[in-house]
């Protein structure tokens, strides 16, 4: 089978290097262009020595890169970049996967409120398919542009999905208490992510409202068939990779929640429902595209607690993007993603 030509816009961040790690050994992919304005001309393996012997490309200045020769382009860029280039690429027949938030939220005014800029390509938002395969697999298969979900939204939505879909919890009272490793903040230099600032400490942030809140609320509303009442509070953990989401909901009818989750995800390659009573660890998914979930039902109450863990850079970003690419091109969904988690 002929390989496809793949381009990556923004290949110098943590998401970009994670894409390179996964795509370097993908049997159907020819890495063709990797852009970086600051590192143009530098061999990729000089910046990321882990890729020596696997990636022999040099970074290309975005102004000199002809992305229209690619079959698919990943945008591993900050918010606001993909929306300026995606329309031209789609018109040229190039498929696009945006790992930022430019096409995730259907309500343009809501997006502009949370992201603080005017959307440059609102007409393409309606075409974009939200790339959570466990919900939108059929639509992803036909999509020309996919909005890859955020890391927190992936862990939270996969945790609430079976309960909301079955209509067995109160959608007006949902709580997502989520924690992320420092790599979720990106590779840019900032004081709060310095070792001396983030190590041996633990804190909540954006308690008044986080940018992922409207994305999560939009997804949960789609599952519930109505608006939801969600409290979402993110926290920063003193570790590099991983997200742990502890989710709370109120059951509205008697339900074997363990059986519900097992049946919902029994055919999902990248969602692992653990045995009853389990407590998943972030290290159990490190480096992999797997979401591990455990469900706890307080038998003497109507409360249910869902524990959901992912690697924020894989199932929360690059791995899910590769999963979406596989679906878009009709390949086995796990191609290039058969990675055993790293332990310790």
Residues carrying an active site annotation: 151
Largest CA distance in the chain: 64
Mutual orientation of helices 151-166 and 133-141 as an angle, nearest 10°? 100
d(CA 161, CA 157): 6
CA separation (Å) from 278 to 26, 207, 262? 33, 28, 13
CB–CB of 115/211 below 8 Å? yes
Helix (H) or strand (E) holding 6: strand 4-9
d(CA 142, CA 328): 6
Pairing of the two strands 203-204 and 230-236 = antiparallel
CB–CB of 245/153 below 8 Å? no
Helix (H) or strand (E) holding 261: helix 257-265
What angle is formed at CA 183 by the lines to CA 107 and CA 47, rounded to 5 degrees? 110
* N-terminal to C-terminal alpha carbon distance within the chain: 37
Residues 278, 284, 290, 291: is their CA dihedral positive or negative?
positive
């Amino acid at each position: 089978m002929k390989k496809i030509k793949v381009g990556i816009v923004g290949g110098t961040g943590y998401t970009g290097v994670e894409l390179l790690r996964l795509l370097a050994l993908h049997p159907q992919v020819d890495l063709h262009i990797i852009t970086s304005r600051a590192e143009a001309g530098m061999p990729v393996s000089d910046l990321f020595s882990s890729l020596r012997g696997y990636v022999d490309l040099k970074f290309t200045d975005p102004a000199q890169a002809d992305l229209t020769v690619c079959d698919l382009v990943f945008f591993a860029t900050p918010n606001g970049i993909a929306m300026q280039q995606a329309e031209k690429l789609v018109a040229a027949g190039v498929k696009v996967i945006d790992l930022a938030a430019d096409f995730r939220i259907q309500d343009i005014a809501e997006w502009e409120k949370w992201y603080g800029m005017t959307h440059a390509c609102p007409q393409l938002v309606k075409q974009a398919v939200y790339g959570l395969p466990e919900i939108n697999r059929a639509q992803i298969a036909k999509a020309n542009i996919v909005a890859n979900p955020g890391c927190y939204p992936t862990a939270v939505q996969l945790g609430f999905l079976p309960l909301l879909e079955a209509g067995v919890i109160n959608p007006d009272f949902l709580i997502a208490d989520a924690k992320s490793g420092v790599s979720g903040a990106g590779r840019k230099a900032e004081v709060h992510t310095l070792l001396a600032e983030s190590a041996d400490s633990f804190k909540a942030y954006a308690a008044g409202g986080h940018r992922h809140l409207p994305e999560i609320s939009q997804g949960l509303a789609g599952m519930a068939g109505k608006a939801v009442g969600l409290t979402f509070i993110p926290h920063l953990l003193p570790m590099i990779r991983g997200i742990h989401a502890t989710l709370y909901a109120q059951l509205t009818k008697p339900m074997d929640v363990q059986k519900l989750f097992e049946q919902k995800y029994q055919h999902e390659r990248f969602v692992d429902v653990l045995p009853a009573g389990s407590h998943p660890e972030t290290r159990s998914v490190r480096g992999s595209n797997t979401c591990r979930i455990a469900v706890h039902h307080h038998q003497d109450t109507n409360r249910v607690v869902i524990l959901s863990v992912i690697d924020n850079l894989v199932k929360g970003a690059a791995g899910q993007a590769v999963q979406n690419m596989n679906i878009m091109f009709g390949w086995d969904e796990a191609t290039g993603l058969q990675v055993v988690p790293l332990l310790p």
